[in-house]
Chain A
Amino acid sequence: MGAGHGHRLHFHGHSPVHRAQPHHKLIALVGFMLVVVATPRDFYPVFAVYAAMVLVVIRLSTVPLGYLAKRLVIEVPFVVFAVLMPFVAHGPQVEVLGLNVSGPGLLAAWGLLVKGTLGVLASLTLAATTEPADVLLGLRRLRMPELIVQIMGFMIRYLDVVTDELRRMLIAMRSRGCDPRSPRHWPALARTLGALFIRSYERGERVHLAMISRGYATRSR
């Protein structure tokens, strides 16, 4: 059993940001991201304003910055890509800290990094202040097609079940002397993932069966 309720990304609280209507928060998030992405990357002061806006919202939400910072790790693959860009891109060279790097590459890396970080931070703030069920409610109010909302609901519901199943399968692999981290055992890991896919697919069928047993298929929409 978990620590009561809520998802791992959720931070329990009663701030104005927590209490705001989920569909308002969703619109604000999507609007904010579109504006950030559309801003030319050399408008440096504008990005400072965006960052200040996100920080103010986080402050209002009473979610600790460290809590969000830890979850920013998800951005790492993009950061690695951004850091590589100045070294592989073409164009006039500039010197930074004694290294010759591509000027346009550096600018592109800055753009990717700042826009990515703002987007991830804003999304994490939404996740930290809104229960998954409320996000779905918000999407429903925004007239997202019911089928898509339902699929997302199932995804949230069964994410824990499937990751738990994978965890148990990996433990069973380790117990038989296999280290899923070592490339030598990657074929076994791939087969495990294949098995997990089949199991999840079959579970989906059983869930559907349990639903039609309670009259689901006969509902006309």
Chain B
Amino acid sequence: MSTPVLDVRGLAYAYPDGHQALFGVDLHVHRGERVALLGPNGAGKTTLVLHLNGILSAGAGTVRVSGLPVEKAHLAEIRRRVGVVFQDPDDQLFSATVRHDVAFGPANLGLRGAELDRRVMNALEKVGMLDFVDRPPHHLSFGQRRRVAVATVLAMEPEILVLDEPSSNLDPTARRELADILRSLDVTVLMVTHDLPYALELCPRTVVLHDGVVAADGPTYDIMSDAALLRRHRLELPFGFDPRQIGGLTA
């Protein structure tokens, strides 16, 4: 088997105040996979995400991205390979125009001029926001800002896209449009979410994180149709939603 894009082994982490969030997480994600990361509030999902691009460094265990260990010496390359889209687009979009925001990441990689322009335009085209390139981000709708936030990361041409709650606060149409965009991208995706139908729609595979360990890992359909497992890990399908009526995605 090829080198996994994401290779997390025995990852443990305690915050400086002593609160331990992760107790030995093992996770492998291979090229082209779309994986949902589910878990109740406080399960350690965000903590895990912050390890993937080296914002937090492991107390124990290792994280490798396409074979490259997440260590201080490789942080620039790690952050190019792992694109994190945060939950609140206002945290991610801080420039006066969409163009500047999307250019921020690739410019930090040292790109200039025509190549930088090409990256910006490419990324915006992928999320359907090309017409907004010279608009100030804070005048866009929430759904549009979420799409630009995705573009800011795509412009770095990452190997894996990590999305924190991509469907939160979106209206149903914006939510579906984002799903179409994510499906159209040729990139590995790890998606942290509480939106179980969204996970079923987009991700053939699901990983459940609970109390700082991987509690389940398998086809999304199997996990969603196991009522006992969902209950055990404080996960709930929306009222009236039955995965058996929809069927699973093929992995």
Contacts and interface: CB of A to CB of B under 8 A. Distances in A.
Interface of A: 1-2, 4-5, 132-133, 136, 153-154, 156-158, 160-161, 203, 206-207, 209-219
Contacts, number: 75
Interface stretch (B6-14, B134-142, B193-201): B134-142
A218 B79 contact: yes
B64 to A, nearest CB: 18
B100 to A, nearest CB: 9
Contacts of B92: 207, 210
B91 A209 contact: yes
B108 A218 contact: yes
B95 A157 contact: yes
Interface string B32-69: 00000000000000000010010100000000000000
A216 B96 CA distance: 17
Q: What are the 6 A-B residue pairs with the smallest beta carbon separation, nearest first?
A: A214-B105, A215-B108, A133-B96, A218-B76, A206-B91, A210-B92
Interface stretch (B23-31, B82-90, B207-215): B82-90
A218 B80 CA distance: 11
Given A1-B139, A214-B79, A214-B105, A132 B153 contact: no
A212 B138 contact: no
A161 B138 contact: yes
Interface string B94-115: 1111000000110011000000
A160 B138 contact: yes
A218 B75 contact: yes
B31 to A, nearest CB: 21
A5 B91 contact: no
B108 A206 contact: no
Given A157-B96, A213-B53, A215-B109, A5 B139 contact: yes
B90 A153 contact: no
Interface string B133-175: 0011011110000000000110010000000000000000000
A111 B153 CA distance: 55
Given A133-B97, A157-B94, 9 more contacts: A5-B135, A132-B96, A203-B90, A210-B86, A211-B94, A211-B104, A212-B79, A216-B108, A217-B75
A103 to B, nearest CB: 50
Nearest to A213: B84
Interface of B: 50, 53, 55, 75-76, 79-80, 83-84, 86, 88, 90-92, 94-97, 104-105, 108-109, 135-136, 138-141, 152-153, 156
B104 A214 contact: yes
A154 to B, nearest CB: 6
Contacts of A215: 76, 79-80, 105, 108-109, 156
Contacts of A211: 94, 104
A158 B94 CA distance: 8
A157 B79 contact: no
Nearest to A218: B76
A2 B140 CA distance: 9
A146 to B, nearest CB: 14
A113 to B, nearest CB: 35
A214 B153 contact: yes
Contacts of A216: 104, 108
Nearest to B75: A218
B133 to A, nearest CB: 13
A216 B139 CA distance: 25
Contacts of A154: 94
A35 B135 CA distance: 38
Nearest to A136: B96
A214 B108 CA distance: 7
A161 B109 contact: no
7 contacts: A1-B139, A154-B94, A161-B90, A207-B91, A210-B86, A213-B84, A214-B104
Nearest to A7: B136
Nearest to A202: B91
Nearest to A206: B91
Nearest to A219: B108
B88 A206 contact: yes
B136 A5 contact: yes
A27 to B, nearest CB: 22
B26 to A, nearest CB: 23
B141 A1 contact: yes
A26 to B, nearest CB: 17
